[in-house]
Amino acid sequence: MKSVVIEQPGELVLADRPLPQPAAGEVRIKVHYASICGSDVHIWRGHNPFARYPRVIGHEFFGVIDAVGPDTDARRLGQRVAVDPVVSCGHCYPCRVGRPNVCQTLQVIGVHRDGGFSEYALAPAANAHPLPPSVPDKLASLVEPFTIAANITAFLQPQPQDVALIYGAGPMGLTAIQVLKGVYGVQQVLVVDRLPERLTLAQENGADRVFNNSEIALAAQLEGVQPTLIIDAACHPAILAEAAALASPAARIGLLGFSGEPCSITQQALTSKELSLFTSRLNSHRFPQVIAWMEQGLIQPQKLVTHFFPLAETARAMTLFEQDPRTCCKVMLQMA
Ligand SMILES: [Zn+2]
Ligand SMILES: [Zn+2]
């Protein structure tokens, strides 16, 4: 089978690999579509501290179960599935309290183990979530990026009367807009980014007001509006301090960034307004919820898709995704 392998940082090859055999409790998926995420590029560039090489990347993928391991339900053969990349132990403290995404021995498919930029991939049977016919093949890999928004909003508990502010109109910001508007009915969703093309996409995804902070600071443009809910989907370490300064008293702030750089903020900036700070990593069992949202038409994954490439052109697709944030949002890979 053909697989996209990062042999070592900087070295991406389309390799011929033996067809993997599912172990007990696992299924094998014939992958049809996958989508590129920033973290795939980080593994390629050697910027992901968790990645081990060589690695088949890809954690957003869709396909059909074509083999099951010993003692695994054979009735699942032929099932269309989206794969949750979070593989957890099930018995450590975070797993016991429903937070498998921060399992003590967390393994992420496409990061710690081989992923879905491949003609076939293995996953624990429980991670392969069946899809209703109303979720089309071409869009099914986008369940995963929406689970990121599902996870942070589960902490933030958005209310219709919230004034929400989202930093960043990349894929994470756009999924957050859609979830705040379509699922939670938040009446005012404000979005800030530095690229006008991305702000146009934000409006197409439901943003009520957009702000370009490339030249004029956001504070000067908000004219005293104090957001009650803020999501940092731009993930720059400088944002938290600004968000705390702009936030309404009693606001909630959600952080999605994974930078190793320190960020500087005083206790007073948080405590004087009694701000709540939530962090969110990957997703905790959010696949069924997002699949239901898609089925009910509450979110529109097609609005994120800008490009399709065949698997053989993954390097070109990832380069475009990396270098051209003005025209790229979700770049999709088609296996066959
Ligand atoms: Zn991702
Ligand atoms: Zn665990």
Instruction: Tell how far the Cα of 44 is from the centroid of ligand 1, in angstroms.
Output: 14
Instruction: Tell how far the Cα of 144 is from the centroid of ligand 1, in angstroms.
Output: 7
Instruction: Tell how far the Cα of 95 is from the centroid of ligand 2, in angstroms.
Output: 4
The dotted CATH code for 147-279 is 3.40.50.720
Sheet arrangement for strand 276-279: 209-212, 188-193, 163-167, 229-232, 252-255, 276-279
* Per-residue pLDDT in tens (0 to 9) along the chain, 336 residues: 999 999 999 999 999 999 999 999 999 999 999 999 999 999 999 998 889 999 999 999 999 999 999 999 999 999 999 999 999 999 999 999 999 999 999 999 999 999 999 999 999 999 999 999 999 999 999 999 999 999 999 999 999 999 999 999 999 999 999 999 999 999 999 999 999 999 999 999 999 999 999 999 999 999 999 999 999 999 999 999 999 999 999 999 999 999 999 999 999 999 999 999 999 999 999 999 999 999 999 999 999 999 999 999 999 999 999 999 999 999 999 997
Instruction: Tell how far the Cα of 282 is from the centroid of ligand 1, in angstroms.
Output: 8
Residue 16 tokens read as: 């011929």
Q: From CA 85, how far away is CA 50, in angstroms rounded?
A: 14
**The domain defined by 2-130+300-334 carries CATH number 3.40.190.10:** no
Q: What sign does the dihedral 67-70-76-80 (CA atoms) show?
A: negative
> What pLDDT score was predicted for residue 50?
86
Give the ligand at the shortest distance from the Cα of 37. Answer: 1
Three-state DSSP class for residue 21: coil
H helix or E strand, kind and range, residue 268: helix 267-271
Nearby residues of 129 by Cβ (< 8 Å), 6 or more positions away: 81, 82, 83, 84, 143, 287, 288, 291
Instruction: Tell how far the Cα of 102 is from the centroid of ligand 2, in angstroms.
Output: 7
Give, as one character, the DSSP assignment of residue 319.
Answer: H
Instruction: Tell how far the Cα of 33 is from the centroid of ligand 2, in angstroms.
Output: 29
Give the ligand at the shortest distance from the Cα of 103. Answer: 2
Give the ligand at the shortest distance from the Cα of 48. Answer: 1
Give the ligand at the shortest distance from the Cα of 87. Answer: 2
Query: What is the separation of C-alpha 215 from the centre of its chain, rounded to a whole number of angstroms?
Result: 29
Give the ligand at the shortest distance from the Cα of 105. Answer: 2
Residue extents of the structural domains in the chain: 2-130+300-334, 147-279
Nearby residues of 136 by Cβ (< 8 Å), 6 or more positions away: none
**Residue among 163, 282, 182, 133 nearest 227 (CA):** 163
Q: Which residues of 296-307 are buried (b: 16+ CB within 10 A; e: fewer)?
A: eebbebebbbeb
Instruction: Tell how far the Cα of 274 is from the centroid of ligand 1, in angstroms.
Output: 32
Instruction: Tell how far the Cα of 164 is from the centroid of ligand 1, in angstroms.
Output: 23
Instruction: Tell how far the Cα of 56 is from the centroid of ligand 2, in angstroms.
Output: 23
Q: From CA 65, how far away is CA 87, in angstroms rounded?
A: 18
Q: What is the dihedral of CA 260, 263, 267, 268, to 10 degrees?
A: -160
Instruction: Tell how far the Cα of 38 is from the centroid of ligand 1, in angstroms.
Output: 7
H helix or E strand, kind and range, residue 173: helix 171-178
Instruction: Tell how far the Cα of 283 is from the centroid of ligand 2, in angstroms.
Output: 14
Instruction: Tell how far the Cα of 92 is from the centroid of ligand 2, in angstroms.
Output: 4
Residue 51 tokens read as: 């990645």
CB burial class (10 A; 0-12, 13-18, 19+) of residue 321?
buried
> What pLDDT score was predicted for residue 108?
97
Q: From CA 218, how far away is CA 234, in angstroms rounded?
A: 14
Nearby residues of 24 by Cβ (< 8 Å), 6 or more positions away: 69, 70, 71, 72
Q: From CA 78, how far away is CA 255, in angstroms rounded?
A: 38
Name the one residue in this structure whose structure tokens are 């391991």: 69
Give the ligand at the shortest distance from the Cα of 321. Answer: 1
Q: What is the dihedral of CA 125, 128, 133, 136, to 10 degrees?
A: -150
Instruction: Tell how far the Cα of 240 is from the centroid of ligand 2, in angstroms.
Output: 29
Instruction: Tell how far the Cα of 97 is from the centroid of ligand 2, in angstroms.
Output: 10
Q: From CA 333, how far away is CA 60, in angstroms rounded?
A: 10
Instruction: Tell how far the Cα of 220 is from the centroid of ligand 1, in angstroms.
Output: 33
Give the ligand at the shortest distance from the Cα of 92. Answer: 2
Q: From CA 276, how far away is CA 252, in angstroms rounded?
A: 5
